Amino acid sequence: NMGYTHIVIGRKHADAPYADGSAIWGDFDAQEIFNELNGDLKIQPVNVGFAAYYDSMGRVDLMENHADEKPVFISGKDVRATLQKGEMVDPRIMRESTSEILAAAMAQS
């Protein structure tokens, strides 16, 4: 959150799939909702697109900023599957300590 004047809206914001794995939202439906609102919106949406890890930067950034670079893709579905198997997520995407906590929590559920 950037404060009381702006709200960050990611792609598939608050996405959770149906039981069969199919998507509830389109990639940018959550952002498009703000384009359809009537009236004087008192907060400014900041739309964020696809993100990936970039070796050149040593961190995650928006893909639109790196058209000529090969990204390490971030997939929530793959991250969940990895954690559910008790494995650690690629440390370029998630801190090892976070992977450990989440994998342990998923093993208990």
* Whether 89 contacts 106, CB under 8 Å: no
Please write the tens of the pLDDT for every residue from 2-61: 557 888 888 776 667 788 988 888 888 888 888 888 888 788 888 888 889 999 999 989
Please write the tens of the pLDDT for every residue from 55-90: 999 998 999 999 999 999 888 889 999 999 999 999
**pLDDT at res. 1:** 53
Return the SS3 of 89: coil
Domain ranges of the chain: 1-49, 51-109
